[in-house]
Structure 1
């Protein structure tokens, strides 16, 4: 299903396979001045194409190669003949999508391969200029789009909440922290995240998240230096894993977060 909400000149398009899915399993695309930021999941790809019929779509950008950000590509190309751009590291992966875990297939679905062009350092629309900001912590190819005049920042999967307790095994938490500090320095006025609600005047929330991750990473390293195992550190800080870890076959877990903060100590 699809639901949309306008935020001034920006239209948020929220997508989910089922209406009763928890919020963490929805994903958002954004339409502004003919530019579509991300194209959503396979389970809503045809519905998205129909929804955009009268929306003056001109071009799209994939912020990274994950299946919940690219799966509308082929349908939009076929229906509207638009160009789609993606970071250089994403291009081949979008044309040859990776094998998914069962939960990914259930929640978001397999994308149809699509041919996209390499994204440059900015995107121009009729009325706006969007700067490409690399944010490689969540995925090496991930980018944000920054519209300086209005203070709009399209953050993809960089910002989720102020106190995350789980991550994927491929997430680099120290790099995510650096990415957050980088975008905080831009002083954005509005965040448009892929997984969650729009955030106005986000300075306080970004500061809270940055402080939380700094303190969490430092505490994890201190416990490790005292000789505690990653499993013991996870139990001491987070207690048991939540239901999301079980639902994702441990792909999103607190243990992964501990390991990520300790990557320089664990040699991975």
Structure 2
């Protein structure tokens, strides 16, 4: 397990990548290359699989491709985007670095490593191309950003809480116990942790819909359920905000999805 940590104005986050059976899962952020590149250079990597296109997961993909000639694989939706320079807000460039272009090939429903067959599980919601990877021989599940923590308080503008709930339900239909999260690291009671997150988000969804059906507007619902102001909302200029949790749930209800 490779690990680096970023800190900015009281906000701290660990970033992990994982190597198992010749498969590297995610590559860390470019801003953390002083931690990740020496670690990656010493590994015997057969292939890289990416949980999603975000720059804290793909920041060192170009290094692996250019310097180590390692093949990279990801869900097909954002492959073309990743062939160009990372196009994302300045605060994220300062936080995670400037991702260089790389070329990935599309994953199918399964892939092979040296001693195992892997399930590729579609888990959108946090990102349109988000995947989880299950090693069928060991029962270990690699979840990218599906977990991170139980009690989600802020979300990206494009995130969908209802879709994340569906993704949690989907992975929980598989047989696994240990979970490896790109930010929380190793979770020995991973199935229980994912169930706790599912219960929290489902309860939150119910509370938001109840308040909405009582006639409360989104901003009032946000203030009732998330009264605290989070630093990330300020320095991201609102790209991360509790209101996005509320809006994604209401939008699904009003769209009839």
Contact 1:187 1:203 (C-alpha < 8 Å) held by counterparts: no
Counterpart position of 1:28: 16
1:132 to 95, 107, 120: 120
**Residues 37-64 of structure 1, C-alpha deviation per residue, up to 9 Å, x if partnerless?**
0111112336533322332112101111
- Using the alignment, how far apart are the partners of 2:203 and 2:9 within structure 1? 35
Contact 2:110 2:119 (C-alpha < 8 Å) held by counterparts: yes
SS for the counterpart of 2:220 is helix
- Using the alignment, how far apart are the partners of 2:158 and 2:65 within structure 1? 30
- Using the alignment, how far apart are the partners of 2:168 and 2:158 within structure 1? 17
Contact 1:245 1:252 (C-alpha < 8 Å) held by counterparts: yes
SS for the counterpart of 1:262 is helix
Contact 1:234 1:254 (C-alpha < 8 Å) held by counterparts: yes
Contact 2:121 2:132 (C-alpha < 8 Å) held by counterparts: yes
Counterpart position of 2:167: 179
Counterpart position of 2:3: 14
1:181 shift after superposition: 1.1
- Number of equivalenced pairs: 256
| 1:49-198 map, 5 Å | 49-198=37-186
Contact 2:86 2:101 (C-alpha < 8 Å) held by counterparts: no
RMSD over aligned Cα, in angstroms?
2.0
- Using the alignment, how far apart are the partners of 1:23 and 1:159 within structure 2? 17
The unaligned stretches of length 5 or more in structure 2 are: none
SS for the counterpart of 2:185 is coil
Contact 1:188 1:201 (C-alpha < 8 Å) held by counterparts: no
**Residues 159-199 of structure 1, C-alpha deviation per residue, up to 9 Å, x if partnerless?**
01111111111111001001111111214211111121311
SS for the counterpart of 1:16 is strand
TM-score with structure 2 setting the length: 0.92
SS for the counterpart of 1:255 is helix
**Residues 103-157 of structure 1, C-alpha deviation per residue, up to 9 Å, x if partnerless?**
2111101110111111122221111221100001111111000012221110001
TM-score with structure 1 setting the length: 0.89
Instruction: Specify whether residues 20 and 258 from structure 1 end up closer, same or farther in structure 2 by C-alpha distance, changes over 3 A only.
Output: closer
1:28 shift after superposition: 1.1
Instruction: Specify whether residues 18 and 173 from structure 1 end up closer, same or farther in structure 2 by C-alpha distance, changes over 3 A only.
Output: closer
- Using the alignment, how far apart are the partners of 2:104 and 2:238 within structure 1? 31
Structure 1 residue 226 corresponds to structure 2 residue 214:
yes
**Residues 14-35 of structure 1, C-alpha deviation per residue, up to 9 Å, x if partnerless?**
12356997443x3111111221
